[in-house]
């Protein structure tokens, strides 16, 4: 399975007729990790929902590769802060579910689920229920389950927002590691500019008028300050809008 490019062209997104995002143009290249930052309420989650096929566009188009996005697909996984694991299934059996949905024969699921759990550092806890795991461990299971489904695009909405600083830093490094070996395009939403700089090949600042600025990582010295400045301007514009 190859990574999937994602495209938003002249996109307007709205809830109950009230526009949230207007005329947005954004191209995500196949295989890149694009991080989206922006003021609270500017429509970051809404954009992910459109790419996930959960929210139809009011105007413009969203595409995955050449195909218009008209609904959810197993090719595009959405990952939230809440781990959304099934509470009555062990970590291993949560991962096995993703394998079953991918059509992996029953006889191979157990070993493959254990390999994915091992990959996210969870060997030895495969038989525990979600409530017997810490928040960071549950996020690891969620990551294993997402990767096991082999999506071609992963849409991540502040997945580490609920974790303490130390666990969050560990998860960021782990994610950077596993993504390096995964053939998937990633759109990652965060409030944390340092997280954006660690994970993103490219970082865009979303503002009330669409993409306010875009940066390649390592593009120039002082990138962090530049992003913070753009973010500050976007927040002011959002407040004045
Ligand atoms: N289901 C909904 N129904 C109505 N309005 C909504 C709904 N979801 C979001 N909104 C509104 O749309 C706007 C954008 O919300 P969204 O969650 O996309 O912003 P965000 O940039 O992800 O914000 P944050 O950074 O705070 O998570 C907000 O004004 C929000 O109140």
Question: How far is the C-alpha of 6 from the C-alpha of 49, rounded, in Å?
Answer: 13
Number of structural domains, the chain?
2
Which tens digits make up the pLDDT trace of 68-83? 999 999 999 998 877 7
Q: Which of 35, 46, 82 to mutate to test the pocket of ligand 1 (most atoms within 8 A of CB)?
A: 46
Mean pLDDT value across the chain: 89
Give the H or E element holding residue 103. none
Q: What interhelical angle do 106-119 and 91-101 show, nearest 10?
A: 120
Q: Does ligand 1 have an atom closer than 6 angstroms to the CB of 42?
A: yes
Q: Which of 150, 180, 205 is the C-terminal boundary of a domain?
A: 150
Per-residue pLDDT band for 219 (boundaries 50, 70, 90) equals low
Considering the domain architecture, whether residues 142 and 159 belong to the same structural domain is answered as no
Whether the model pTM is above 0.80: yes
Question: How far is the C-alpha of 175 from the C-alpha of 173, rounded, in Å?
Answer: 5
Which tens digits make up the pLDDT trace of 178-206? 888 778 999 999 989 989 998 999 999 99
Q: Which of 117, 135, 150 is the C-terminal boundary of a domain?
A: 150
Across 81-93, average pLDDT: 89
Instruction: Classify 108 as helix, strand or coil.
Output: helix
Q: Which of 14, 24, 37, 44 to mutate to test the pocket of ligand 1 (most atoms within 8 A of CB)?
A: 44
Q: Which of 118, 150, 182 is the C-terminal boundary of a domain?
A: 150
Q: Does ligand 1 have an atom closer than 6 angstroms to the CB of 15?
A: yes
Within 8 A by CB and 6+ apart from 179, the residues are 33, 186, 199
Closest C-alpha to 216, from 204, 228, 229:
204
Considering the domain architecture, whether residues 241 and 158 belong to the same structural domain is answered as yes
Report which protein residue has its CA nearest ligand 1's atom 5: 15
Question: How far is the C-alpha of 52 from the C-alpha of 70, rounded, in Å?
Answer: 9
Identify the domain containing residue 119 by its residue range.
83-150
């Amino acid at each position: 399975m190859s990574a999937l490019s994602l495209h938003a062209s002249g996109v307007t997104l709205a809830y109950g007729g009230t526009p949230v995002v207007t005329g947005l143009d954004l191209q995500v290249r196949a295989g890149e990790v694009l991080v989206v930052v922006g003021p609270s309420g500017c429509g970051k989650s809404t954009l992910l929902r459109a790419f996930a096929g959960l929210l139809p566009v009011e105007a413009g188009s969203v595409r995955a590769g050449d195909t218009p996005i008209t609904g959810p697909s197993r090719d595009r996984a959405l990952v939230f802060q809440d781990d959304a694991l099934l509470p009555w299934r062990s970590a291993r059996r949560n991962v096995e579910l993703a394998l079953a949905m991918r059509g992996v024969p029953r006889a191979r699921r157990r070993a493959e689920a254990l390999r994915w759990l091992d990959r996210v550092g969870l060997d030895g806890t495969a038989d525990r229920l979600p409530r017997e795991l810490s928040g960071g461990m549950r996020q690891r299971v969620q990551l294993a389950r997402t990767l096991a489904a082999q999506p071609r695009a992963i849409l991540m909405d502040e997945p580490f927002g609920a974790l303490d600083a130390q666990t969050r830093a560990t998860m960021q490094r782990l994610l950077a590691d596993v993504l390096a070996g995964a053939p998937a395009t990633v759109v990652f939403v965060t409030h944390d500019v340092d997280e954006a700089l660690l994970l993103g090949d490219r970082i865009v600042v979303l503002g009330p008028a669409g993409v306010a600025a875009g940066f390649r990582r390592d593009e120039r010295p002082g990138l962090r300050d530049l992003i913070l400045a753009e973010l500050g301007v976007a927040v002011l514009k959002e407040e004045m809008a």
